[in-house]
Structure 1
Amino acid sequence: MKALRFHAAKDLRLEELDALPVPGPGQVAIRNRFVGICGTDLHEYAHGPIFIPTAPHPFTGAQGPQVLGHEFGGVVTAIGAGVTHVAVGDRVSVQPLIQPRGGDYFSDRGLFQLSEELGLVGLSWQSGGMAEGALLNAYNVFKLPDALSDEEAALVEPTAVCVYACDRGKVAAGNSVLVTGAGPIGIVTLLTARAFGAVKLFVTDLNDTRLEKAREILPDVIALNPKRDDVAARVRAETEGGVGCDVALECVGNEKALQTCVDAVRKQGTVVQVGLHPGLGAVNWFDVTFKDIDIRGSWCYPTYIWPRVMDLIASGAIPSKKVVTRKIRLEQAVTEGFDALLDPAGTQLKILIDLT
């Protein structure tokens, strides 16, 4: 089968791999249909290996070269003994966290994303979405609601990140919400905040093209460019009492964006750090204390969130497909996918690879 594998930074190779093995007990084989290129995939391509293990993963045993892709779905082609929740022919979305073997504090409490043994399909597992097929554990696949399309199956994973971030921020009806970063995660976070009942939305980005795309998707969003706008002042001016927004979600991984969130959020508001910072960063901790605010991290998502996220997309409450700007074939993935998304012009948001 054809697969796109990571060998080293700027070294992705389209290769012919052996056909998938017959699923063992508790395993499922699928024919992949659509897979998204994630920001994590881009970081691996540009600077990796980062999450891809160079020695065998302590739990999964995987190591590079690695088939990329953890935002995907497909059709079940075979099931192993003991699998009852899906059948051959079912359309599925892939929840890519590999549950640890247990015995540690977090995995024993169902918080698999926090375990040191965590593996991830497409980064530290034998299979990934950027191939014609994948072999998965049964718990990794969820049958799609009829109303969820094959393309949307590939958007459940990034949407889960956004839903969990809004959960961490306790976004509620009537809130005002700032999101820094108008990339795919930032815009889907805005869509999620709106689904949760937020009534006033702000977004920041240094790229005017992306701000315009955010306006196309959410016409009433207040889009601000920190190069020319005083973001905190504008947010305060547009919120009740001039106090600032209730929740600010940092979706860039940039210390200046985090400080913008601290500046713009109201006293006793909440800041959620969603983007991954590349290293140590500074923030004005006097303001954190003086304003009596909460700063919370948001890492991945709990695995039980999958059915809820699928229903939110299928119902139209979170129209994640609006961030898809291009669909390409696997043979085009490097030049028309990875390179296009790294273009500073920022003309693309979410690119899906069509494997149908």
Structure 2
Amino acid sequence: MQALIFHAAKDLRVEEIEKPGRPGPGQVRIRNTRVGICGTDLHEYAYGPIFVPKEPHPFTGVSGTQILGHEFGGTVTEIGEGVTRVKVGDRVSVQPLIMPRDNEYYADRGLFFLSEKLALAGLSWPWGGMAEASILNDYNVYPIPNAMSEEEAALVEPTAVAVYACDRGGVRAGSSVLVTGAGPIGLLTVLAARAAGATRVFLSDPNAKRLDLARTIDPDLVTIDPTKESVAERVRAGTDGGVGVDVAIEAVGNERALGNCVEAVRRQGVVVQVGLHPGPSKLDWFSVTCKDIDVRGSWAYPTTSWPRVIDLIATGRLPASKVVTKRIQLKDAVREGFDALLDPAGTQLKIMIDLTK
């Protein structure tokens, strides 16, 4: 079968590899159908290895080359001994986090995503979504309803990131929210905030094309170019009492954007950091203290969120497919996918790979 394999920075190859064998106890084999290209995948391609282990992973033992892709779904083709949660023929969305399930501090408390031995399909597991098939643990696959498409199944993973960021911020009915960064996670966070009941939503990004796209997705969205106007002033002018937003979510991993969040959030508001910063960043802790605000990290998502996010998408409450701007085949993934997304002048947001063609 064909698979897109990471070898080193700027070295991705579509190669012919052996199909996965029979799944072991507690495992399933799926025919992958759709997979999204994530910002993490782009960072591996541009600068890696970052999350791809250089030494054997402490839980999975994986290192070196890697089939990429952790935003994916497919159809179950075989199940291993003891698997009862899915059956052959089920269409599934993949929850890619792999970790100890017991006898570990976080696992014993149901906080699997916080495990220090965390691995991910597509980054530190023998299989990933950018291949025709994969082997996964039974806890990694969730059946999807008939109302959900294969593309939507692959969008559950990034949407779960966005939903959890809103959860961490306490977004609720009537909230006002600022999101910095109009990438896929930023726009999915806008949609997640709306689904949670936010009534005033602001989006900041210096890319005019992405802001234009954002307004087609949410016509009531207030968009801000931080290179042309003050984010904090624009936000305060658009909130009750001119105090700022209830929640500010930094979704790009940028020091200036994080500073804008601190400035734009109201006193006793919440700043959520979901974008991954490439290194240490400064923060105005004087403002954090004097404004009495909370600053919270948002890492991945609880694995238990999958049924909830599936329901949000399948019912149309969170129309995740709106962030997809291009659909390609696996053979074109490097040039038409990765290179297109890394082009500073590019117009693409989320590119989906169709593995059925």
Is the TM value for this pair above 0.5? Answer: yes
Offset of 1:99 from its aligned partner? 2.4
Pair 1:72-2:81 in alignment: no
Q: How does 1:78-97 map to 2 (within 5 A)?
A: 78-97=78-97
The residue that corresponds to 2:255 in the other structure is 255
The alignment partner of 1:28 has SS state of strand
Structure 2 gap segments, 5+ residues each: none
Pair 1:49-2:62 in alignment: no
1:135-183 deviation per Cα after TM superposition (whole angstroms, max 9, x unaligned): 0001100000111101100000000000100000000110110000001
Offset of 1:193 from its aligned partner? 0.2
1:3-27 deviation per Cα after TM superposition (whole angstroms, max 9, x unaligned): 0000000000111111111011111
1:178-232 deviation per Cα after TM superposition (whole angstroms, max 9, x unaligned): 0000011000100000000000110000111111111111111110001101110
The alignment partner of 2:31 has SS state of strand
Aligned residues: 356
Q: Does 252-261 or 52-61 show the bigger shift?
A: 52-61
The alignment partner of 2:328 has SS state of strand
- TM-score, L = length of structure 1: 0.99
- TM-score, L = length of structure 2: 0.99
Is the 8 Å Cα contact of residues 202 and 221 (structure 2) preserved in structure 1? Answer: yes
Pair 1:3-2:3 in alignment: yes
The alignment partner of 1:247 has SS state of strand
The alignment partner of 2:241 has SS state of helix
Q: Which amino acid aligns with 1:300?
A: A
The residue that corresponds to 2:200 in the other structure is 200
Is the 8 Å Cα contact of residues 59 and 99 (structure 2) preserved in structure 1? Answer: no
Q: Does 278-287 or 105-114 show the bigger shift?
A: 105-114
1:284-304 deviation per Cα after TM superposition (whole angstroms, max 9, x unaligned): 110000000000000000100
1:263-290 deviation per Cα after TM superposition (whole angstroms, max 9, x unaligned): 0000000000000011111111100000
Offset of 1:346 from its aligned partner? 3.8
The residue that corresponds to 1:306 in the other structure is 306
The residue that corresponds to 2:326 in the other structure is 326
Offset of 1:101 from its aligned partner? 5.0
Aligned mates of 2:237, 2:58 — CA distance in 1: 52
Pair 1:155-2:155 in alignment: yes
Q: Which amino acid aligns with 2:219?
A: P
1:331-356 deviation per Cα after TM superposition (whole angstroms, max 9, x unaligned): 00000000000111240010000001
Is the 8 Å Cα contact of residues 163 and 189 (structure 1) preserved in structure 2? Answer: yes
1:227-272 deviation per Cα after TM superposition (whole angstroms, max 9, x unaligned): 1011100100110000000000000101100000000000000000
Q: Which amino acid aligns with 1:278?
A: P
Aligned mates of 1:346, 1:258 — CA distance in 2: 24
Pair 1:219-2:219 in alignment: yes
Q: Which amino acid aligns with 2:254?
A: N
The residue that corresponds to 1:288 in the other structure is 288
Is the 8 Å Cα contact of residues 209 and 345 (structure 1) preserved in structure 2? Answer: no
State percent identity of aligned pairs. Answer: 68
Q: Which amino acid aligns with 1:299?
A: W
The alignment partner of 2:46 has SS state of helix
The residue that corresponds to 1:278 in the other structure is 278
Pair 1:115-2:115 in alignment: yes
Cα distance change of structure 1 residues 346 and 294 upon mapping to structure 2, 3 Å threshold: farther
The residue that corresponds to 2:17 in the other structure is 17
Stretches of 4+ moved more than 2 A in 1?
101-104
RMSD over aligned CA atoms reads 0.7
Structure 1 gap segments, 5+ residues each: none
The residue that corresponds to 2:132 in the other structure is 132
Aligned mates of 1:247, 1:158 — CA distance in 2: 20
